[in-house]
Amino acid sequence: MIAIYIYWFAIIVVHICFAVAVFRDAENLEQTQTRKLWFVNSGIWALATLVGGIFTAGIYWVIHHSTLRSPAEPATATKADPTTT
């Protein structure tokens, strides 16, 4: 019986740790504006990771950090002004 409690405690700790990590990373992305968050804000991503655990954290990583995502666009597009040539 104690092993079951230890197992569930470990699962809860892992979910909390991943949720905090996703929240911090999402906040960092929002503050630096190097990339936009997809679908929802950082709080919802953290809540989803708290519920879904490692699987949801993996989805977050694929969407925001993997090479499957399109290359990062600059936060402010610097276009040449045609009047200043």
Give the three-state DSSP class for 69.
Answer: coil
pLDDT band of residue 78 (cuts 50, 70, 90) is very low
User: Residue range 26-50: average pLDDT?
Assistant: 79
- What DSSP line would sit under 13-51, residue for residue? HHHHHHHHHHHHHHHHHHHH-SSPPPSS-HHHHHHHHHH
What's the rounded mean pLDDT across residues 45-74? 78
What's the confidence (pLDDT) of residue 61? Answer: 83
pTM above 0.85, yes or no: no
Q: What pLDDT score does 70 carry?
A: 61
d(CA 1, CA 63): 39
Mean pLDDT (the chain) is 78
